[in-house]
Structure 1
Amino acid sequence: MLCRAVAVELEVPKGVSKLLYSVESVYLGIVREVVEYAVKNNVLSATQLQGLFYSRYRSEYPDLHAHLIIQAIRQASQIAKSFMERRRKGLANKPYPEVRSVSIRFTEKAWSYDQFVKSIAPVRLELSLPNGRTEVWLRPHKRFWLYWWRVLTGEAELASTLIIKRKANKWYAIFIFKLKPREEELKSIVAFDINENTVAVGKIDLPSTVDKVTDWNRQYLMPQLYMIRTDFGRLARRYEAIRNTIIERLKPHFTLPNGKYVNITDTREFRKRVKHLRERVRKVGRVRHVANELTKTPAIIITEELGDNPQESMIEDVGKSELRHRIKQTPFKAVERAVEDKALEHGSKLFHVSFYRNSRVCPIHFVRLKRTDDWHILKCPVGHYVNRDHASVMNMAWKTTPEAWTKGVWWDLRKNMNWRKYEGKSNPLIPHPIVQYLRAILKTFTASEESPAVLARGKPMNHHRIRNEGGGEETSQKGRRSAKCSY
């Protein structure tokens, strides 16, 4: 199941807003206390924490709904587990996690879930607040109605947990929709390759290319090749220069008596200035743009098998620190995960192929390409030039064919098998006379110009095809008579 979260603004009067503020403060206090206890005593189980704290908070806050207390304890358990894991990896230096804000989780018992799901056009809901059930109106938008239509048609389900969150003094209700993967008729084959500043795409439309003529004449199967500009490398270079400028400006304020400087990146002033750069937001926007572009129509999507951390293997032989930084900042796995997620939503299928020599082999002649003065343009020994990004996506698409599987197995056997060990020995499973007979047949029946092995061009094979080409039944009958007379 796929999950999609949609935030809808609430129309909250002053009285209801005060109640929500009071619930949020109590909820935040419970989370902070439970997190501190869990980290200090290494108690990370939500069940154990609930047994320790539930009765205490239930008697301390009798007006607060019981399920809100349970959800606060569970949320504290998740925060404590995440903090302990980060501290184990050396990513956290503080003794306790700093919980600044929380999102209030209402279970189906704490809000009108059953009534909301049965409604055709829900515009209001009821929350269990300290004064009892309180009605709150929504301000739905286009995206909410899009997923709600899927709920009505049975393609999605609404999760029973409702999240209420405050941002910029506005209250939002976050609905979580569980989508069912679509089953669509695939209409194209798309192969994409992620680079530093672009995403190379090769697309083949199945309705217009897959027919008998294409099967007989492979040279007419021309994919559509184009690039999607992402500029991840340029974005990393720009923000690196901005961060270096901030560091140089802050250095005089953090000078030690011995003349050295404090690590500026660990200071609060540096983090306050860097958090307004919006680098991560811009990356996320470009990643989603690529995913939407590749999954517009249901397709077979092909990409390379990148592994868990592809950046580390890419920078092994790179000496320049600037290039290493740009490669590290390129979100290869984020693009792959976004495309995979969108593919399930739109009915596409994602396949991974080997990354071995995709951009170094000619996709037409399957020979090793030679370097030129341009890094992106390579030369085939046969005599033509190839863009290495286009060669990569075409080779990835070719690797999904049965011919590629056969060659892959044959190359692997030829590379791993010691042929001299079996030289001069016969196969005990196949008798020697049968081998001689097969060799004689293969040597006798060979392809020639008179009897080709594969049709070079599709021609009408019967009168029905002649009719489609412009002829008719009479033409076919005359052809038959003339053929009989000639014999």
Structure 2
Amino acid sequence: MLRRAVAVELEATRELNKLLHSVETAYLNIVREVVEYAVKNNVTSANQLYELFYSKYRLEHQDLNSQLIIQAIRQASEIAKSFMERRRKGLVSKPYPEVRRVSIRFTEDAWSYDQFVKSVAPVRVELSLLGGRREVWLRLHKRFWQYWWRVLSGEARLASTLVVKRRLNKWYAIFAFELKPREEEPRSIVAFDINENTVAVGRIDIETTVSKVADWNKQYLTPQLYTIKTDFGRLARRYERVRNAIIERLKPGFTLPSGKYANITNTREFRKRVKRLRERVRKVGRVRHVANELTKTPAIIVTEELGNNPQEEMIDGIGKDELRHRIKQTPFKALEKAVEEKALERGSKIFHVSSYRNSRVCPIHFTKLERTDDWHTLKCPLGHYVDRDYASVMNMAWKITPESWTKGVWWNMKNLNKNMNWREYEGESNPMIPHPIVHHLHATLREFMASLEQSPAVLARGKPMNPARGANEGWARKPPRPLGRGGGQEVCK
């Protein structure tokens, strides 16, 4: 099951605003006290914390719904586990986590869940606040109605937990929808390769390839090769210059008596200025743009197996600090996960193949490519030039073919590279590409140009459709993570 969260603004009157603030204050105090006790005494079990604190807070907050007290204790347990795990890894320096804000979790018994799901067009909810239940009207928008139509048609289900949070003095109700993965007939085969500033894409249309149209016009057998501009590397370089300028501007105020400077990156003034740069928001917008572009139609999506931490493998042996920083800032795994989730939502299937020599072998003759003066352009020993990004996506596509001999030779080559004799296969032609279109493919690979129609422009700043940023609440964007990793968004390490 997939999970998607939608934030809807509440029409909060002055009286309702005071009640929500009172509930938030009580909820926050409970979370802070329980977190401090859990970290100090190394007690992270939610059941143990419930036995220790429920009776106490039930007497102190008699007007507060009991389910809210239980959820506050559970949320504190998640925050404590997350903090202690990060402390074991040496990622925090403070003795206790600073819980600055919380999201109030209303379970099925604390809001009108049954009445809400039975309605065809729900426009209001009832929340259990101080003194009883209060009716709250919703300011619904297009994104909510899109998912609600799926609920009515049986393609999705509304989660029973409702999250209410405050942002910029506005209150939002966050609904979590559990979606059923769609099953669609694939229309194309898409292979993509993630680079520093671009995403190389190779698309093969199945309908025109297997039908009589291919016999009538051979040009439809040629894969569509284009790139999607992301500029992750240029973005990292730009923000690095901005951060260095901020550090130089703040240096005079943090001079030590010895003449040296304090660590300015750990100061409040530096964090206050850096958080306005919106670097993460720009990256998220570009990641979602690429995921949406690759999954427009149901397809078989092929990509490389990146591993758990691809950046560490890529920077191994690189001595230039600027290049290492740019590689570390490229969101390889975030982009891969976004494509996987969007593919399941739209009926596509994604496959991972070995990354062994994808960009170093000619996709036509399977010969090892030779280097040239241009890093992106390689030369085949048989006399033509190949762009290494397009060679990578083509070789990934050939690795999933079930009938050709390339599967027996190239499939899982990462584990067979020690016994591979390259000279045995050099000069062999690829049976998946008919010979009459080889010359046409040569010209395509040499162009290295992305069509404007297939490569739409990327906005400088991409904002999610949800009014409240961070509305996913971690657990609501996808299936719940293992215990001990939740609550990270509510903590400042």
Taking structure 2 as the reference length, what is the TM-score of the superposition?
0.82
Trace 1:253-272 onto structure 2 (pairs within 5 A). Answer: 253-272=253-272
User: Which residue number in structure 2 is paired with residue 383 of structure 1?
Assistant: 383
Give the partner amino acid of 1:274. Answer: V
Q: How has the CA–CA distance of structure 1 residues 220 and 95 changed in structure 2, closer, same or farther, with 3 Å as cutoff?
A: same
| Conserved? CA contact 1:3–1:179, under 8 Å | yes
TM-aligned CA deviation for residue 384 of structure 1: 1.2
Matched, 1:408 2:419: no
Quick one: distance in 2 between partners of 1:217 and 1:358? 29
User: Which residue number in structure 1 is paired with residue 224 of structure 2?
Assistant: 224
Quick one: distance in 2 between partners of 1:114 and 1:58? 26
User: Which residue number in structure 1 is paired with residue 20 of structure 2?
Assistant: 20
- SS of match in other structure, 1:109: helix
Matched, 1:11 2:27: no
TM-aligned CA deviation for residue 213 of structure 1: 7.6
More helix by share: 1
Q: How has the CA–CA distance of structure 1 residues 324 and 55 changed in structure 2, closer, same or farther, with 3 Å as cutoff?
A: same
Q: How has the CA–CA distance of structure 1 residues 91 and 399 changed in structure 2, closer, same or farther, with 3 Å as cutoff?
A: same
User: Which residue number in structure 2 is paired with residue 131 of structure 1?
Assistant: 131
Q: How has the CA–CA distance of structure 1 residues 128 and 379 changed in structure 2, closer, same or farther, with 3 Å as cutoff?
A: same
| Higher radius of gyration, 1 or 2 | 1
Please, which moves more after superposition, 119-128 or 312-321?
Answer: 312-321
| Conserved? CA contact 2:156–2:177, under 8 Å | yes
User: Which residue number in structure 2 is paired with residue 179 of structure 1?
Assistant: 179
Q: Deviations over 1:340-375 (max 9, x none)?
A: 010000010010011111111111111111111211
User: Which residue number in structure 2 is paired with residue 38 of structure 1?
Assistant: 38
User: Which residue number in structure 1 is paired with residue 325 of structure 2?
Assistant: 325
Give the partner amino acid of 1:150. Answer: R
TM-aligned CA deviation for residue 211 of structure 1: 3.3
TM-aligned CA deviation for residue 133 of structure 1: 1.3
- SS of match in other structure, 1:318: coil
- SS of match in other structure, 1:185: coil
Quick one: distance in 2 between partners of 1:414 and 1:197? 29
User: Which residue number in structure 2 is paired with residue 360 of structure 1?
Assistant: 360
Quick one: distance in 1 between partners of 2:417 and 2:259? 64
Give the partner amino acid of 2:364. Answer: I
Q: Deviations over 1:402-458 (max 9, x none)?
A: 32221237988795499xxxxxxxxxxxxxxxxxxxxxxxxxxxxxxxxxxxx999x
Q: Which runs of 5+ in 1 are unaligned?
A: 419-454, 458-487
| Conserved? CA contact 1:4–1:176, under 8 Å | yes
| Conserved? CA contact 2:247–2:264, under 8 Å | yes
Give the partner amino acid of 1:405. Answer: K
User: Which residue number in structure 1 is paired with residue 470 of structure 2?
Assistant: none
User: Which residue number in structure 2 is paired with residue 252 of structure 1?
Assistant: 252
Q: How has the CA–CA distance of structure 1 residues 217 and 136 changed in structure 2, closer, same or farther, with 3 Å as cutoff?
A: closer
Quick one: distance in 1 between partners of 2:417 and 2:295? 39
TM-aligned CA deviation for residue 221 of structure 1: 2.1
User: Which residue number in structure 2 is paired with residue 50 of structure 1?
Assistant: 50
Q: How has the CA–CA distance of structure 1 residues 216 and 396 changed in structure 2, closer, same or farther, with 3 Å as cutoff?
A: farther
Quick one: distance in 2 between partners of 1:83 and 1:165? 22
- SS of match in other structure, 2:316: coil
Q: How has the CA–CA distance of structure 1 residues 410 and 318 changed in structure 2, closer, same or farther, with 3 Å as cutoff?
A: closer
Trace 1:69-148 onto structure 2 (pairs within 5 A). Answer: 69-148=69-148
Identity %: 77
TM-aligned CA deviation for residue 269 of structure 1: 1.1
| Conserved? CA contact 2:378–2:386, under 8 Å | yes
TM-aligned CA deviation for residue 251 of structure 1: 1.3
Trace 1:397-476 onto structure 2 (pairs within 5 A). Answer: 397-402=397-402, 403=404, 404-408=406-410, 416=419
Q: How has the CA–CA distance of structure 1 residues 339 and 409 changed in structure 2, closer, same or farther, with 3 Å as cutoff?
A: closer
User: Which residue number in structure 2 is paired with residue 194 of structure 1?
Assistant: 194
| Conserved? CA contact 2:124–2:138, under 8 Å | yes
Quick one: distance in 2 between partners of 1:281 and 1:17? 29
Give the partner amino acid of 1:359. Answer: S
| Conserved? CA contact 1:216–1:456, under 8 Å | no
Trace 1:335-346 onto structure 2 (pairs within 5 A). Answer: 335-346=335-346
| Conserved? CA contact 1:112–1:125, under 8 Å | yes
Matched, 1:170 2:170: yes
- SS of match in other structure, 2:246: helix
| Conserved? CA contact 1:217–1:456, under 8 Å | no
| Conserved? CA contact 1:246–1:270, under 8 Å | yes
TM-aligned CA deviation for residue 298 of structure 1: 0.6
| Conserved? CA contact 1:359–1:392, under 8 Å | yes
Q: How has the CA–CA distance of structure 1 residues 124 and 213 changed in structure 2, closer, same or farther, with 3 Å as cutoff?
A: closer
Quick one: distance in 1 between partners of 2:218 and 2:263? 61
| Conserved? CA contact 2:354–2:412, under 8 Å | no
User: Which residue number in structure 2 is paired with residue 154 of structure 1?
Assistant: 154
Q: Deviations over 1:367-416 (max 9, x none)?
A: 11111121111111111111111111001001111322212379887954
Quick one: distance in 2 between partners of 1:135 and 1:410? 59
User: Which residue number in structure 1 is paired with residue 430 of structure 2?
Assistant: none
